[in-house]
Amino acid sequence: MTRVYPWGYLAVRYLLQHHRSDVDTILGYYRTGQWQAARTYLKSTIGTKYDTHWYSWLSACASGRCDAECTADDTRALGEDCVRSNRSASLGNYDYLYLWVPAGVTSLKITASGGTGDCDLYFNRATWATTTAYTHRSTGTTNSEAITVTAPPSGYGFVSLHGKQGCAGVTVASEY
């Protein structure tokens, strides 16, 4: 579908998906005729606050994953078609994430991409994934890592980024 203002549409879609409370606040101002309050909120409260996440989300859209969103408020939680942006792990340390795999999932894919440095990706079904406790891993020379778990059993799964050289600004995504 062709849209007259594609960037405006994307901006509203992003805000609705990821910052609904901001949209509700702005609409509250507009609905009561408080134009200046809405403008001030947009420029001063929101401003450039979400720029980093916005650009990560745009990248996800470019690869066909605009609808990817994580429903849990815990920023460590992954899920079905979930993208967590701006992850990092310093040299030798971990950034831990987790997810609940429902019954009947035939394939679980976890990816890491973007950012700077070099982090590896680990997955474990039983406990926090580390370099010595994992069932699946991806250890390339960049942050472009991918793990596929075929027919994962239902229950919790544990994911980690390990800072081989340290990394920042990495996007971790899960899909099933």
- The domain that holds 92 is classified in CATH as 2.60.120.380
- What is the arithmetic mean of pLDDT over 141-158? 94
Cβ proximity of 14 and 57 under 8 Å: yes
Enter the pTM of the model.
0.64
Looking at residue 68, its pLDDT comes to 54
Q: Kindly report, residue by residue over 10-35, the tens digit of the pLDDT.
A: 888 778 777 778 888 999 999 999 99
Rounded to whole angstroms, how far apart are CA atoms 35 and 41? Answer: 10
User: In this structure, are 36 and 114 located in the same domain?
Assistant: no
User: What's the rounded mean pLDDT across residues 98-122?
Assistant: 94
Could you list the residue range(s) of the whole structural domain that residue 28 is in?
6-49
User: Is pLDDT at 72 greater than 80 in this prediction?
Assistant: no
The band of 164, judged by pLDDT with boundaries at 50, 70 and 90, is: very high
Same domain as 88, residue 29: no
Which residue type is seen at 176? Y
Q: Per the domain annotation, does 35 fall within a domain?
A: yes
